[in-house]
Amino acid sequence: MLAWLTLPAHAQPVLEVLQQELDRNFSVLKAKADPPPYFISYAVTEIQTEAAVASFGALQNTGGGINRFLDVSVRVGSPKLDNYHVIRGDRPRFAGAIGVPVDSSTTGLRRRAWAETDRVYRNSVQRLISIKTAQENNVKETSTANDFSTETPEKGAALPPALKIDRATWEARVRKWSALFSGKTGVLASQVSISAQREVKYFVSTEGTRIEHGRIYARIVISAQGKAADGMDLATSESFEAADVNRLPGLGGDEKPVLAAIEKVQKDLAGLLHAPLVEPYVGPAILSGRAAGVFFHEIFGHRIEGHRQKDEAEGQTFSKGVNTKVLPEFLSVSFDATRKQIGTTDLNGWYDFDDEGVKAGKVKLVDQGVLKTFLLSRSPVDGFAQSNGHGRKQPGAEVVSRQSNLIVESGKQVAFAELRKLLIDEAKRQNKPYGLYFESVTGGFTTTGRRGLQAFTVIPLVVYRVWADGRPDELVRGADIVGTPLASFAKILATGDKTEIFNGFCGAESGSVPVSAASPALLVSEIEIQKKDRAQDRPPLLSRPDPEPEAPKREGRGSVRP
């Protein structure tokens, strides 16, 4: 567990150096620069990675390393109007993810902070001039919100434990698990990986925030790829995520869940290789909890990120929707960056502080169908002057408001068997021969800008036809879920009674950040699918080589080496 500590008088070297350089550079610029900055922050992100990857029993990659990156933010002007002001999609880009030394020497970090502060300050002044010129020549903007909020300075430390791994065990596990794909008909490629990342963030600002915090991510990913006779590329996958390497199955616990996941990946791929192609369809469907989580992440989560509400280039789907009904009244949606688990499953989207030094919290976005607020960074939105701890980014990107742990709650739950019966009833009511069940998905994407379609795509992996006449469910392939957000929300009829969790990483304007989406299964009266793009080349003509025979085991005492 992470232990909260009070910073001692002499903090960790990285934090101390950052504070000293911040004080020195800010005082010089305040005295000599015109215009002077009113705010500066320094952030160093330290990332330690470890991984072992194997395919068909052969080790493909193993190793790790440590890197540190420096990001400098300088604000000139005033909180009302500064160099981070956005004009019709023109977003600022000052950060650079500058590499800094990972050893105990402070000279390299000091020089990097000095040079980067000078560079960012100069660019900031130039952009502020451009912003003021644009405002004089363009029509008046609809948003009157400030560019920067005032927040309470934070001080504290929550350092994760050291990342300790048994590399020999990792390598043995991925070899063993990946070898289970050898000889499986139709599997053209497969991979099993174990990875872990320890991330520590150091942050200081001229407001007085001084924090160091971090976490560990650990994952097992199992994947397989094949090609159908008509040329369509197919893939199936399963994964396990944890906040501690020892919580992963097969490392700190029983490996049976991993073996079961491998068997499922193989079975799903074998079924897809011979499954019929699905035709374009509009009709009722059930989305599993994991699929529903991705569904909400794409069609809802990205549209209630605060920075989109004040950018004239965005579609602003819900900008005027506060205190109005946006979802069925039996649904509520929260984002809780403080929550680390649901049941026994670790969540991927938690953190102690966001990337602007604001303490994480729980935000109820939708209460019984009614929109209450937005996800907010320190870029205020009309009617919401303060951050709610959702300013996020990867090193080298600029902060915008982003999702954390999305949690859907339902007041209209039924057991899955009843949900399935409702699906069949709805298919009969619409005179449809079948409904669809989306068991698993790999992710999705959406467009939110005004110049593009206000649409989304969710990419399923495993989809079944549920026949209204009672025939056994039929696995199908080649479907993508498509639609528009406002129309899709109105089609939700009921939910299941068990929450499922999708852990992953979301890529957007501020880079890739870890997220989670937790939801019960959804029954929707209407969903649209389109045919997936496919390649034209056929499966391989040559048979693959036989797997290498295992080396004979020798009996005796002590260890056995090959």
What average pLDDT does the structure give for the chain?
90
> Does the pLDDT value for residue 549 go beyond 60?
no
Q: Give the closest residue to 461 by CA, choosing from 446, 476, 483, 448.
A: 476
pLDDT above 60: residue 343? yes
Phi, psi (5° rounding) for residue 354?
Answer: -80, -175
Nearest to 374 by CA among 432, 438, 430, 300: 300
3-state secondary structure of 440: strand
Reduced to 3 states (helix: H, G, I; strand: E, B; else coil), residue 263 is helix
Residues 6+ apart with CB under 8 A from 463: 278, 436, 437, 438, 439, 475, 476, 477, 479
Q: At what angle do helices 256-273 and 167-179 cross, to 10 degrees?
A: 30
Q: What is the pLDDT of residues 410-456, one digit of tens each?
A: 999 999 999 999 999 999 999 999 999 999 888 777 777 766 666 77
Q: Residue 27 pLDDT > 90, yes or no?
A: yes
Residue 439: count of CB within 10 angstroms of its CB: 18
d(CA 144, CA 310): 9
Question: How does pLDDT run across 491-531, given as a tens digit for each residue?
Answer: 999 999 999 999 999 988 899 999 999 999 999 999 888 87
Going 125 to 127 to 131 to 133, the CA torsion angle's sign is positive
**Tens of pLDDT, residues 59-89:** 999 999 999 999 999 999 999 999 999 887 6
Could you report how far apart the first and last alpha carbons of the chain are, in Å? 39
Q: Where are the domains of the chain?
A: 13-273, 281-531
Domain 13-273 has CATH 3.30.2290.10: yes
pTM of the model: 0.90
**pLDDT for the residue 402:** 96
**pLDDT band (50, 70, 90) for residue 154:** very high
Q: Strand, coil or helix: what is 546?
A: coil
Instruction: Find the mean pLDDT for residues 116-124.
Output: 97
Distance CA 45, CA 136 (A): 39
Report pLDDT digits (tens) over 525-548. 998 888 777 677 778 877 777 666
What number of other Cβ atoms are within 10 A of residue 3's Cβ?
8
Note the helical H segments in 88-186: 107-137, 167-179
